[in-house]
């Protein structure tokens, strides 16, 4: 199963390997529709690979160059997606870095002759239980 953008590209290629203008318009519209979609990266990659196949394997250099030029439409939306991803990563990093430097208060053992907090278990009880199990 190929990507939908490749389905459009296949329909745009005529029998003599030239590109039909209506097909190019459909590809351009599909790229524009995916401007906010994370799938845009995949669509551009697949279209570029198809263009390389057309140019290198089938010898349709002009059609390949036209398709590659069409992928340039996605440059600005792709840069925006990368910028947004970098901003999310930076924010996540700053949030976690602030946690690393924070003072962590670990629970401390009770002093001798002070009451234990509710729900705690004395160390002597744990040791005596483990000694019985190991015997």
pLDDT of residue 46: 92
Whole-angstrom distance, CA of residue 38 vs CA of residue 74: 12
Q: Is residue 45 part of a domain?
A: yes
pLDDT of residue 103: 58
Whole-angstrom distance, CA of residue 10 vs CA of residue 19: 9
The count of residues in the chain is 135
Burial of 12 (0-12, 13-18, 19+ CB in 10 A): buried
Domain with 62, as residue range(s), is 4-87
Q: What is the pLDDT of residues 19-35, one digit of tens each?
A: 998 999 999 999 988 88
pLDDT of residue 129: 57
Please state the domain count of the chain: 1
Which residues, 6 or more positions from 122, have their beta carbon under 8 angstroms from its beta carbon? Answer: 116
Q: Is residue 114 part of a domain?
A: no
Low-confidence ranges of the chain (pLDDT < 70): 1, 98-113, 116, 122-123, 128-135
pLDDT of residue 51: 93
Q: Is residue 111 part of a domain?
A: no
């Amino acid at each position: 199963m190929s990507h939908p953008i490749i389905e459009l590209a296949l329909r745009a290629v005529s029998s003599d390997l030239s590109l039909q203008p209506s097909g190019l318009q459909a590809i351009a519209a599909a790229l524009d529709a995916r401007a906010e979609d994370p799938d845009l990266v995949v669509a551009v990659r697949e279209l570029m690979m198809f263009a390389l196949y057309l140019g290198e394997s089938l010898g349709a250099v002009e059609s390949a160059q036209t398709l590659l030029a069409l992928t340039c439409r996605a440059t600005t939306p792709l840069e925006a997606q990368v910028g947004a991803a970098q901003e999310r990563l930076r924010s996540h990093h700053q949030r976690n870095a602030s946690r690393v430097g924070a003072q962590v208060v670990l629970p401390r053992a009770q002093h001798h002759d002070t009451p234990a907090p509710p729900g705690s278990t004395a160390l002597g009880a744990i040791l005596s239980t483990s000694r019985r199990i190991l015997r």
